[in-house]
Amino acid sequence: MLLFVETTTAARGVKRPPRTTPFAPGAVTQSNEQPTNVAFTDAAGTLHGWYLTDASLDPYAIAVEDGVSPNGGRAVRIARVTSPLPWGDAALTQIFPAAPWRGRRLVFSAAMRADALTIGTGAMLLVHVRPRQEQGDKAARPILAMQADGLVRSPGWVRRSVAVDIPADAEQVQVSLAVTGSMAGWFGDLIVGTEPAAVAGLRMPMSRARLAAAGAMPLARGLERGQIGSQLEGAGSNPRVTW
């Protein structure tokens, strides 16, 4: 059956404001001198030292809430309640020099919880270890690690951690508090710590073939819940360093 109409109106797309935030942590270039404002209490601003990235059609909202973390401190909330598209992610991220951790094991830990009803959504911790920027055969590959047990979707607080052995030629470390999908995620009681690790001679990975030949891989893994306390306490005459 054919239908005829007298007038029609052209379809128009939804006008959205221009994007002002980077799409992903890899697009952030600003660096701090050290891990900064991990308690979200800096006098310069509650998010001073952190940079927002957002790869969602509809932007995520960021808020800092007082006294809600398991230790009674501030927690940051990253949320997108609804969106016509299910995909998208956002992160708060910061970069600092790798020098203090070279030849040691960096541990990034946080209390986390989420309102994430849909499978595939949730909250996560990410650690990037970045090499010096070189060209040609000398170009090294970055290291990326995420916490164990997958995305956090629990409405109750849980603690998760990521441990990464920092190679001797690492240039920068980037830590990120990230969420994916339509959900809300909370992060609080952050710790950036270090412990001894026998990785003094470890180098940034050059290629899969070269690593296989050398028989060496950096440790980059999430910690199981029962391991977090022992990993953060340090050992012997080498106490942890935290910010």
**48 CB contacts (<8 Å, ≥6 apart)?**
36, 37, 42
Assigned domain for 134 exists: yes
Instruction: List, in sequence order, every residue forming a beta bridge with 223; answer none if it has no partner.
Output: 161
CATH number reported for the structural domain that contains residue 90 in this entry: 2.60.120.260
pLDDT of res. 56: 86
Q: Residue 105: is its pLDDT beyond 70? A: yes
pLDDT of res. 218: 44
Q: How far is CA 86 from the centre of its chain?
A: 20
The number of folded domains in the chain is: 1
Amino acid, res. 51: Y
The DSSP element (H or E) to which 228 belongs, if any, is helix 228-233
Over residues 166-209, the pLDDT tens digits come to: 998 899 999 999 999 999 999 999 999 987 665 666 777 775 44
Over residues 125-173, the pLDDT tens digits come to: 999 999 887 655 566 788 999 998 899 999 999 999 999 999 988 999 9
Assigned domain for 85 exists: yes
Q: Which tokens in the block code for residue 151?
A: 């995305």
Whose tokens are 């310069």? That residue is 44
Summarize the confidence of residues 75-88 as an average pLDDT: 88
pLDDT of res. 1: 66
Among the listed residues 85, 76, 59, 70, the one whose alpha carbon sits nearest the alpha carbon of residue 123: 76
pLDDT of res. 14: 60
Q: Residue 225: is its pLDDT beyond 60? A: no
Summarize the confidence of residues 78-93 as an average pLDDT: 89
Assigned domain for 10 exists: no
